[in-house]
Amino acid sequence: MLDLRYLAAVLATVFVINVALRAVPFAILQPLRKSRFVEAMAIWMPVGILVILAASTFRSVSGDVRHAAFAAIAVALTAAVHLLGGRRTLLSVGIGTLAYVLFVNCL
């Protein structure tokens, strides 16, 4: 039978670790806000995410010309939305992904 004290100890440990892992980034970010590294990462990280997404998409459609064309259109749309939409990564990735899924499933 499961000991209630053991379960409480496990849950308390998980709670403390979870809160600590969520709080630590915010605690260390405040002194780094003026850091050149953080400013550079804010510029380059969205671009890196988009490149990884594009590479992953093209790798998955390497043998199918039709899907590769759909992927190229979706990547171009993602880049256009990213540049014209104020560099909102979530918006551009979301629209590009939605476009690719619609192209593959509806055309």
Taking the CB of residue 96, how many other CB atoms lie within 10 A of it? 25
Taking the CB of residue 18, how many other CB atoms lie within 10 A of it? 10
Q: Is 57 exposed, middle or buried (0-12, 13-18, 19+ CB in 10 A)?
A: buried
pLDDT tier, 37 (very low <50, low <70, confident <90, very high otherwise): confident
> Six-digit token pair at 74?
């979706």
Tens digits of per-residue pLDDT, 45-84?
A: 878 887 887 788 778 777 788 888 998 899 899 889 988 9
3-class SS shares of the chain: helix, strand, coil, % to 5 = 85, 0, 15
What per-residue confidence (pLDDT) applies to 1? 61
Confidence check: pLDDT of 25 > 90: no
- Looking at the chain, the whole-number percentage of residues with pLDDT higher than 70 is 98
